[in-house]
Amino acid sequence: MSPHVNLSAPLAAARHIGTRGIPAGTRTVAHKFGGSSLADAGCYRGVAAILRDQAEDRQIAVVSAMQGVTDALIALAQDAASGTGDWRAAAGSLRERHLAVAGDLLGGQAGPTQAWLDASHAGLADLLQALAVLGFPAREALERIQGLGEVWSARLLSALLVAQGAECAMLDAREVLTVRHGELGVAVDWDDSARRLADWRDGHPQARVIATGFVARDADGRPTVLGRNGSDYSGAIFAALFGACELNIWTDVDGVLSADPRLVPEAVPLAAMSYEEACELAYFGAKVIHPQTMLPAMALGLPIRIRNTFRPNHPGTCIGAAETPPMPVKGLSLADNLALVNVEGAGMIGVPGTAERVFAALRSAGVSVVMISQGSSEHSICCVVRAGDVERARSGLAAAFAAELADGQIQDIAVTAGISVLAAVGDGMAGMPGVAARLFASLGRARVNVRAIAQGASERNISVALAGADAARALRAAHAGFWLSPQALSVGLIGPGNVGRALIEQIREAAPRLQRDTRLDLRVRAIAGSRQLWTDERGELPADWQRRVAAGGEAADLDRFAAHVHAPHLPHAVIVDCSASAAVAARYPDWLAAGIHVVTPNKQAGAGPLALYRAIRAAAEAGGARWRYEATVGAGLPVIQTLRDLLDTGDELVAVEGILSGTLAWLFNRYDGSQPFSALVAEAHALGYTEPDPRDDLSGLDVARKLVILAREAGQALELADVAVESLVPAAVRDLPREAVPAALAAIDEDIARRHARARAAGKVLRYVARLDRSGARVGLVEVAGDQAFAHLRLTDNIVQYTTRRYASNPLIVQGPGAGPDVTAAGVFADLLRLGAALGARL
């Protein structure tokens, strides 16, 4: 039944009683300050300043104990009752802490307050001594002790305000607030509380009242407490009783956040939310407000504003009945330390009352159920319970279904420990298709397995049970998936050479724009060279990153590198391999199988042994990670993507032909016979167009690898050895040390000059061309007619010509710059952005 039905009538009557004698139009505002807002004397001064600065006719402020005091009081009672620990010394420290704060706050006027505190602490010592004699924690004594921190705190704050010249009264809630404890928690006797408050107000007419939170009285007048988080509940109760028009709950954050900031640093404060949204988030772990706090507010339509004590000018989050902005998911929360209990058996199918027996057994065992899930097959019912309750749940269910377990009608009562529940909450989810799809797609991309699912008919909450080890990653993935924060991508780069260096600079330049406009957060968290490894937890590259990487912190270790990149708290990880290492490429299957995406211009994987290529493909398909390698063939040109588009749309490849080396393109575009070919090679090397060893370009193997990659993309099981390769490296030069190569390359000049002269006599030009067709694969130096596209390239241009069933008479051509670190890095970057789009960024 709705709280509006249960509470609105008695609350309205109570407000009428509690506010008697207050002129119409009087604006009363309630405030509640938590323990973090009252940690020390400086915090008390800040709270007093906040209260004095509010423009209110009447003011009620409910305060918690000083930070940590309630826990200390509970520990004192337990130690005294059990006879363990030095409770006298701990009690003395607590007394000194409060006396010191009083002295700091009140200075020369502290005497009466310190005397009162001394007497109260002496009474505490007597209670503790009594518990020590009893040897067990009597409930009445324990509840009296637990509430003392609030009483001390209220006394300190009210004394400070009076010392500052403000009219102020202190209200001990145990004098007026009457409650009773039941199975559903604490229930307020509104009529009795309102009458007691009205009588109290007759003797305390001050416009400002400081009240104790957490404490109350039972029907017999004995002190009791409202339970943990009871101070928030007290704030809502007194807001109702005093006829407040608003309740401000002051804490240490800027309002309700879209997620736990300890797990999602990008969590954002929410400007507004409904009572129902706040209840859902609060139940599943959002610590800002307790669900019970909202009951009186919901019944009266009383707005609750969550505000930051340390940033009082921040508007905070307004929780109310009014419609909030139309966001499908307002926030996400996480409950951990849970376990999954599954009752499973074919004998349950179609049998009425099975669910009733499950829940009755759990109730008898005193187990609260966090989440319930049952498939339409009725073959199993699973419940999520708190980890501390799991053994009681298991034994209670085993007893309830003992006969069915013995007969085999129930196969098992299975328990899975280490479970967390992730809840996506928002009023805007109702009636909006695709919300669940986005949640599960986000979790799937982050490789998070869902164990159980629950969604209520209100469509305000989708809850999923998952392994606790995946909880942080799941929360961040879902948070980014609903565009509540940028999609974080942990990036590790191997090979900070020319291409790697250019790529990092491009990322650094583009990162702010990408985060702002596309919600993609690229974090370069590790860079591995051949000798050194640099890591950073946040992934914010400084301007002097090259110096820091060169300085290094540890020796290069690719296992350590991958483990750092694949951080459990980040939803997605990618390794960008800018090396040319076959050893690095051999690690791709393991990385992909672990869910780490790979982006690379390294041809050693796509053109390496066919077994490795197939292992990489299989790992990517099985693990769900992506392997992107567009830059392996045409640097920044869309060579592979164009081929894929042709094949995916049903076209058939007849032949592919191209100039696939920017270095060889530049050499033969420039060569006109006026200077030795070896001199041009030396010039290209000086310009950075060649590999460190120019034989790597002149051998034709680089071009052959690119042709193998295209062949495999087209579905052909081609090995590098299957390609007929014409090497331009003279036999006498192939085995020389690298430093001797430039001088020895003159041996190629005569042959190139002769072939160039023959081609020119025929009206043709020399080009180093790769070709794949039905007759096989080959790369080498060929004569090209002057009217062909291959004869009219600009410097380092690459060109690829696709002849297909559709593009038969007029082949499809892709042409553009195919060499240089900047364009290659741009091709790698484009692959990285395509990956980001696939992961949910707005690209």
What is the end-to-end Cα distance of the chain in Å, rounded?
46
Active site residues: 706
- Per-residue HEC secondary structure of 493-559 comes to EECCCHHHHHHHHHHHHHHHHHHHHCCEEEEEEEEECCCEEEECCCCCCCCCHHHHHHHCCEECCHH
Query: pLDDT band at 151, cuts 50/70/90?
Result: very high
CB 627 within 8 A of CB 585: no
Is the residue at 380 inside a domain?
A: yes
CA distance 318 to 273: 6
Looking at 434, 451, 483, the residue that finishes a domain is: 483
How far, rounded to the nearest angstrom, does the alpha carbon of residue 75 sit from its chain's CA centroid?
Answer: 35
Is the residue at 226 inside a domain?
A: yes
Is the residue at 134 inside a domain?
A: no
Q: Is the pLDDT of residue 309 over 50?
A: yes
pLDDT for the residue numbered 135: 80
In the predicted model, what is the mean pLDDT of the chain?
88
How far, rounded to the nearest angstrom, does the alpha carbon of residue 813 sit from its chain's CA centroid?
Answer: 43
Residues 314, 401 share a domain = no
Query: pLDDT band at 14, cuts 50/70/90?
Result: low
CA distance 76 to 70: 10
Residues 644, 628 share a domain = no
Residues 435, 537 share a domain = no
- Percent of the chain past pLDDT 90, that is, above it, reads 58
pLDDT for the residue numbered 1: 32
pLDDT for the residue numbered 323: 62
Closest CA to 824 of 529, 506, 518, 514: 506
Is the residue at 753 inside a domain?
A: yes
Residues 459, 496 share a domain = no
pLDDT digit string (tens) for 734-774?
Answer: 999 988 888 899 999 999 999 999 999 999 999 999 999 99
More confident residue, 407 or 308: 308
CA distance 634 to 703: 10
Read off the pLDDT of each residue in 221-233 and give the average, rounded to a whole number.
83
Task: Quote the radius of gyration of the chain (alpha carbons, Å).
Answer: 37
The DSSP bridge pattern shows strands 764-773 and 653-659 to be antiparallel
Query: pLDDT band at 3, cuts 50/70/90?
Result: very low
Report CA-CA distances (Å) from 796 to 382, 659, 690.
64, 10, 11
Read off the pLDDT of each residue in 342-353 and give the average, rounded to a whole number.
78
Structure tokens at 55: 């423009």
Residues forming a β-bridge with 487: 520
CA distance 349 to 379: 6
Q: Is the pLDDT of residue 18 over 60?
A: no
Is the residue at 139 inside a domain?
A: no
Residues 628, 648 share a domain = no
For residue 480, the surrounding DSSP H or E stretch is helix 471-481
CB 65 within 8 A of CB 149: yes
The answer for 624, left when phi > 0, alpha when psi is -120 to 50, beta otherwise, is left
pLDDT for the residue numbered 7: 56
CB 256 within 8 A of CB 425: no
Q: Which residues contact 665 (CB under 8 A, 6 or more apart)?
A: 659, 767, 768, 793, 795, 796, 797, 798, 818, 819
CATH number, residue 511: 3.40.50.720
Looking at 416, 448, 483, the residue that finishes a domain is: 483
pLDDT for the residue numbered 457: 64
Rounded to 10 degrees, the C-alpha dihedral 51/57/58/63 comes to: -20
pLDDT digit string (tens) for 636-679?
Answer: 899 999 999 999 999 999 999 999 998 999 999 999 999 999 99
Give the orientation angle of helix 41-53 with respect to helix 87-106, to 10 degrees. Answer: 50
CATH number, residue 219: 3.40.1160.10
Residues 620, 596 share a domain = yes
> 3-class SS at 7?
helix
How far, rounded to the nearest angstrom, does the alpha carbon of residue 404 sit from its chain's CA centroid?
Answer: 43
Closest CA to 331 of 276, 275, 267, 288: 267
Q: Is the pLDDT of residue 5 over 50?
A: no
**CA dihedral over 309, 312, 315, 318, signed as positive or negative:** positive
Query: pLDDT band at 283, cuts 50/70/90?
Result: low
Is the residue at 113 inside a domain?
A: no
Domain of residue 427 covers 331-483
Structure tokens at 531: 């000798």
Q: How many CA within 13 A on the CB side of residue 334? A: 26
Average the pLDDT over each of 243-257, 335-349, 728-742 and give the range with the smallest value.
335-349
DSSP string, 418-470: EEEEEEEE-GGGTT-TTHHHHHHHHHHHTT--EEEEEE-TT-SEEEEEEEGGG
Read off the pLDDT of each residue in 811-833 and give the average, rounded to a whole number.
90
Read off the pLDDT of each residue in 284-303 and give the average, rounded to a whole number.
76
pLDDT for the residue numbered 548: 80
Q: Is the pLDDT of residue 387 over 90?
A: yes
Is the residue at 124 inside a domain?
A: no
Burial class of residue 345 (count of CB atoms within 10 Å of its CB; 0-12, 13-18, 19+): buried
pLDDT digit string (tens) for 434-451?
Answer: 788 889 888 988 889 999
Query: pLDDT band at 24, cuts 50/70/90?
Result: low
DSSP string, 569-591: TSSEEEEEE-S--HHHHTTHHHH
Residues 783, 666 share a domain = yes
The DSSP bridge pattern shows strands 461-467 and 246-251 to be unpaired
CB 468 within 8 A of CB 422: no
CA distance 751 to 764: 17
CATH number, residue 461: 3.30.2130.10
CA distance 575 to 307: 42
Read off the pLDDT of each residue in 163-178 and give the average, rounded to a whole number.
95
Residues 342, 430 share a domain = yes
Residues 222, 197 share a domain = yes
pLDDT digit string (tens) for 90-118?
Answer: 999 999 999 999 999 999 999 999 999 99
Read off the pLDDT of each residue in 809-826 and give the average, rounded to a whole number.
88
In 88-228, at which residue ranges do the beta strands (DSSP E only) sit? 169-171, 179-182, 185-188, 208-212, 215-217, 223-225
Structure tokens at 73: 């009081």
CB 208 within 8 A of CB 59: yes
What's the whole-model pTM score? 0.74
Report CA-CA distances (Å) from 421 to 7, 178, 692.
31, 36, 54
Average the pLDDT over each of 211-215, 474-478, 551-555 and give the range with the smallest value.
551-555
DSSP string, 270-320: -SEEEHHHHHHHHHTT--S--GGGHHHHHHHT--EEEEETTSTTS--EEEE
Residues 474, 493 share a domain = no
CB 221 within 8 A of CB 173: no
**CA dihedral over 383, 387, 388, 391, signed as positive or negative:** positive
pLDDT for the residue numbered 644: 94
- Per-residue HEC secondary structure of 700-720 comes to CHHHHHHHHHHHHHCCCCCCH
pLDDT digit string (tens) for 800-815?
Answer: 999 999 999 999 999 9
If one counts the domains in the chain, the total is 4
Is the residue at 671 inside a domain?
A: yes
Read off the pLDDT of each residue in 292-301 and give the average, rounded to a whole number.
84
Query: pLDDT band at 429, cuts 50/70/90?
Result: confident
pLDDT for the residue numbered 691: 80
Q: Is the pLDDT of residue 4 over 60?
A: no
> 3-class SS at 119?
helix
Work out the number of other CB atoms within 10 angstroms of the CB of residue 181.
13
Closest CA to 210 of 58, 94, 68, 66: 58
CB 426 within 8 A of CB 331: yes
Looking at 464, 483, 502, the residue that finishes a domain is: 483
Report CA-CA distances (Å) from 330 to 319, 324, 840.
12, 10, 18
Read off the pLDDT of each residue in 547-576 and give the average, rounded to a whole number.
86
pLDDT for the residue numbered 15: 62
Read off the pLDDT of each residue in 232-255 and give the average, rounded to a whole number.
91
More confident residue, 282 or 251: 251
CA distance 794 to 595: 41
Q: Is the pLDDT of residue 485 over 90?
A: no
CB 330 within 8 A of CB 277: yes
Structure tokens at 221: 């007048």
Residues 192, 60 share a domain = yes
Residues 833, 798 share a domain = no
